[in-house]
Amino acid sequence: MLMAVRKPLFTPWGVEGEIDYDRIIKEFGLEIISDELLSKLSKLAKGLHPLLERKVFFTHRDLPWLLSKIASGEKFFLYTGRGPSEKTHLGHLIPWIVTKWFQEKFKAPLIFQFTDDEKFLFKQDLSLDKVKSLALDNALDVIALGFDEKLTFFLFDTMHADLLYPQALRIAKKVTFNTVKAVFGLNQSSNIGQIFFTSMQAVPAFLPSVILGKNIPCLIPMGLDQDPHFRIARDVLPRLGFYKPACMHSRMLKGLTGSAKMSASKSPNDVLFLDDSLQVAERKIKNAFTGGRETAAVQRSKGGRPEICSIFNYFQYFFASDEELSIIESECRKGLRLCGDCKKQLIEKVLKFLEQHQKAKERAREKLERFFFSSECLRKVLS
Ligand code: SF4
């Protein structure tokens, strides 16, 4: 039986207030990624990505099963995606970075889905043309991160509807309106496209199995807020004769203004867009919410609070080695470091990253079509 979430304050379309991860783990029925599991993964991959070591990815579904498939030499594929409602920001990169790590370690193909239909249906102010152009722009960011063009397959929901829609119908036939209402908080006033949409998001989890004519294991690294879609997909797929996809979930990156999940819909100052000019990025970081105290003197005597600090969150997720992170945390807690020092250090790292990324994105334009989905190429890499 699919578990319903009674108060859906945490859905793919909205995260409000402080995130109570313990409550969500219980309500969603997730497993914690244990040290033992990480050590199994580390043996197979000969190392771990810092986002795994630092437990930014912290929960899973059926990861031991997926690792046993890898250990036995079975091929698997990765699936992640992007709902193109705006330009890409750093928070979007968390699942992508870990997905890329899996691709490099295991030479696994990746289906990358751009749900332009979803954003058209859920964002009243976005036209279809606008979401389609945002999807193509976001795709350039994905390419700029360095995914392998021979192993990465872009699916745009409206462009590849001929491939996706017949499979989405198979899902839709098994999902009731009651389930969608309970899991996503949709109601009688929701438009009928919203009610159907989750069927489209389920398709990449089994499309390679359809194309190859045999079950292929799938791993989906995602932000925790996307899990409701895959609770439904995992409920339905075995009833259609397919494997349930294994899932891994990341914590949310805090917003620069102090919000629980970085989101441009709250304020453009909450996020660092990958297209931000260096001056704009610098200004946003200078004005960011920190765990600092009212005055420098109080901070020196009491120390700061990295656990609530958005700047520390950036170091943790992206911009500090283990050694740097431990120095920042210890100096902060002891009052040996002031927030201005941290901001200066982060600005240097972020500007360097943005400069490199923006150049890579320019070069990505000419490669875009090579990443478009091809059943034939997918069949080759999975055979
Ligand atoms: Fe955050 Fe650094 Fe300030 Fe500590 S010193 S609260 S880590 S910005």
The strand pairing partners of 113, in sequence order, are: 81, 155
- Report the atom number in ligand 1 closest to the C-alpha of 309: 1
Three-state secondary-structure class, residue 22: helix
- Determine the pLDDT at residue 258: 81
- The answer on pLDDT for 237 being more than 60 is yes
- Determine the pLDDT at residue 20: 85
> Is 24 near ligand 1, meaning CB less than 6 Å away?
no
Cα–Cα distance between 178 and 4 in angstroms, integer? 10
Tell me the pLDDT band of 116, cut-offs 50, 70 and 90. very high
Do 213 and 78 share a structural domain? yes
Domain count, the chain: 2
| Predicted confidence (pLDDT) per residue in 126-142, tens digit | 999 999 999 999 999 99
- Report the atom number in ligand 1 closest to the C-alpha of 337: 5
| Predicted confidence (pLDDT) per residue in 63-83, tens digit | 999 999 999 999 999 999 999
Lowest mean pLDDT, pick from 18-32, 47-61, 214-228, 254-268: 254-268
> Is 292 near ligand 1, meaning CB less than 6 Å away?
yes
Residue 173 lies in a domain: yes
- Determine the pLDDT at residue 265: 67
Mean pLDDT of the residues in the chain: 94
Residue 369 lies in a domain: no
Residue nearest to atom 3 of ligand 1 (CA): 339
| Predicted confidence (pLDDT) per residue in 151-178, tens digit | 999 999 999 999 999 999 999 999 999 9
Do 305 and 276 share a structural domain? yes
Do 217 and 83 share a structural domain? yes
Residue of 285, 295, 310, 311 to test ligand 1 pocket, by largest number of atoms within 8 Å of CB:
311
> Is 328 near ligand 1, meaning CB less than 6 Å away?
yes
Residue 47 Cα to ligand 1 middle (Å): 29
- Determine the pLDDT at residue 4: 47
Lowest mean pLDDT, pick from 1-5, 26-30, 292-296: 1-5
Percent of the chain past pLDDT 90, that is, above it, reads: 88
- Provide the residue range defining the domain that includes 44: 10-253
Do 243 and 286 share a structural domain? no
Write down which residue in 193, 226, 253 finishes a domain.
Answer: 253
Residue of 256, 314, 316, 328 to test ligand 1 pocket, by largest number of atoms within 8 Å of CB:
328
Residue 379 lies in a domain: no
- Determine the pLDDT at residue 19: 80
Residue 301, class by beta-carbon neighbours within 10 Å (0-12 exposed, 13-18 middle, 19+ buried)?
exposed
Cα–Cα distance between 46 and 212 in angstroms, integer? 29
Cα–Cα distance between 1 and 3 in angstroms, integer? 6
Tell me the pLDDT band of 6, cut-offs 50, 70 and 90. very low
What sign has the CA pseudo-torsion 95, 101, 106, 112? positive
Residue 377 lies in a domain: no
Residue 329 Cα to ligand 1 middle (Å): 8
Residue of 309, 310, 329, 333 to test ligand 1 pocket, by largest number of atoms within 8 Å of CB:
309
Residue nearest to atom 8 of ligand 1 (CA): 339
Total-model pTM: 0.92
Do 157 and 59 share a structural domain? yes
